[in-house]
């Protein structure tokens, strides 16, 4: 049995790659799966902060690649979840310290021991991005319902296709249903219209995400958080379950009512 490598990327910065990586990782681990997150954003590491593990870093990704430590030594276990690890990025180096081949080798080594290897890609389309997608089985593209973020996501999808990594899966993050209703924000349909790839989840804008991230906690472990629920469902979909899309009060059509029914009947 071999683990799957999923790279979370976006092109544009600040759309929620790191938060999504941390939360999808926590959700998968919470489902009893063995998960490791790799921060590929060398020089601008963040994932350790969001996961609340900053103070435990001894070795990092570059140390592993350059042979200063064993892979196991660079893996930091999560505070709460048993089978959830982080390989942090180096803060003092840059993207050229690691090559795409290094990432493929590293991921292949991890496949034996883990069900999921999640890679947090840096923003941009340069070396760091190439490193991050090189080992990917699945590329998860995250975007916000904003024209500029969608434009960058489109570019990324083109590059991912050019690397023969399939068209990728889409998460639309920070959706504000009231704004869509007022016609001030792109709706899910508008985004899909342009990008035309598989939607794997829609995450509502939710303050609890920021609160949790600042505390270094995963919002998916908060049962009341709307965004946490959305990330939990995305994790289940990535893992192959057929989970209906949660209603965002975004459309009142048949689909909206239907999914609301399913939701009240389901896990709530």
Partner 1 sequence: MNTPLAIKGIRDGILITVPEGDWAEVLPNLLEAIQKQADFFRGARLALQIENRDISAAELGRLRDMLAEEEITLWAILTTSATTRGAAADLGLELELSKTTHAERDDELPLETRLQGEEAVLVERTLRSGHNVRYAGHVIVLGDVNPGAEIVAGGHVIVWGRLRGTVHAGAVGNESATVCALDLSPTQLRIAGQIAISPGRRSKTMPEIACIRDGQLIAEPWQT
Tell which phi-psi region holds residue 164, choosing left (phi > 0), alpha (psi between -120 and 50) or beta: left
CB-nearer residue toward partner 1: 142 or 234: 142
Alpha carbon 117 to its chain centroid, in Å, reads 11
CB of 147 to partner 1, least distance (A): 8
Binding of partner 1 by 199 (CB under 8 A): no
Binding of partner 1 by 152 (CB under 8 A): yes
- The interface region with partner 1, picked from 12-20, 24-32, 154-162, 181-189 by CB under 8 A, is 154-162
150: phi then psi, degrees, rounded to nearest 5 = -65, -40
Nearest Cα to Cα of residue 143 among 7, 240, 255, 8: 8
CB-nearer residue toward partner 1: 1 or 162: 162
Query: Rounded to an integer, what distance in angstroms lies between the CA atom of residue 52 and that of residue 45?
Result: 12
Binding of partner 1 by 54 (CB under 8 A): no
Per CB under 8 A, the list member of 157, 171, 180, 213 interacting with partner 1 is 157
Per CB under 8 A, the list member of 31, 104, 159, 199 interacting with partner 1 is 159
- Whether 173 and 15 have beta carbons less than 8 Å apart is answered as yes
Task: Indicate the burial class of 137 (C-beta count within 10 angstroms; 0-12, 13-18, 19 or more).
Answer: middle
CB-nearer residue toward partner 1: 108 or 154: 154
CB of 69 to partner 1, least distance (A): 38
- Whether 102 and 42 have beta carbons less than 8 Å apart is answered as no
The strand pairing partners of 116, in sequence order, are: 4, 35
CB of 157 to partner 1, least distance (A): 6
Give the list of residues 6+ apart from residue 13 with CB closer than 8 angstroms, or none. 123, 124
Binding of partner 1 by 251 (CB under 8 A): no
CB-nearer residue toward partner 1: 45 or 169: 169
Per CB under 8 A, the list member of 58, 69, 196, 261 interacting with partner 1 is 196
Query: Rounded to an integer, what distance in angstroms lies between the CA atom of residue 220 and that of residue 212?
Result: 9
CB-nearer residue toward partner 1: 161 or 222: 161
Per CB under 8 A, the list member of 154, 177, 251, 256 interacting with partner 1 is 154
CB of 101 to partner 1, least distance (A): 25
DSSP three-state, residue 153: helix
Per CB under 8 A, the list member of 70, 72, 80, 155 interacting with partner 1 is 155
CA angle 13, 235, 16 (to 5 degrees): 15
Binding of partner 1 by 151 (CB under 8 A): yes
Footprint of partner 1 (CB under 8 A):
151-152, 154-155, 157-159, 161, 194, 196
């Amino acid at each position: 049995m071999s683990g799957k490598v999923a790279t979370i990327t976006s092109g544009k910065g600040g759309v929620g790659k790191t938060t999504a990586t941390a939360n999808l990782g926590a959700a998968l681990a919470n489902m009893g799966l063995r998960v490791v997150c790799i921060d590929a954003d060398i020089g601008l590491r963040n994932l350790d902060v969001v996961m609340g593990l900053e103070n435990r870093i001894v070795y990092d990704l570059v140390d592993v690649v350059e042979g200063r430590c064993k892979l196991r030594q660079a893996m930091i276990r999560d505070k709460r979840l048993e089978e959830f690890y982080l390989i942090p990025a180096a803060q003092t180096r840059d993207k050229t310290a690691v090559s795409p081949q290094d990432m493929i080798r590293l991921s292949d080594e991890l496949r034996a021991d883990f069900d999921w290897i999640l890679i947090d890609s840096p923003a941009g389309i340069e070396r760091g991005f190439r490193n991050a997608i090189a080992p990917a089985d699945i590329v998860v593209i995250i975007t916000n319902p904003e024209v500029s973020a969608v434009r960058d996501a489109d570019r990324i999808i083109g590059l991912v296709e050019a690397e023969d990594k399939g068209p990728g899966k889409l998460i639309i993050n920070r959706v504000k249903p009231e704004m869509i209703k007022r016609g001030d924000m792109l709706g899910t349909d508008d985004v899909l219209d342009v990008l035309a790839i598989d939607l794997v989840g829609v995450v509502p804008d939710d303050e609890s995400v920021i609160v949790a991230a600042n505390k270094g906690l995963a919002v998916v472990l908060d049962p009341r958080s709307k965004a946490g629920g959305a990330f939990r469902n995305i994790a289940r979909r990535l893992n192959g379950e057929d989970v209906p899309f949660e209603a965002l009060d975004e459309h009142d059509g048949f689909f909206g009512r239907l999914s609301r029914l399913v939701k009240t009947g389901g896990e709530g």
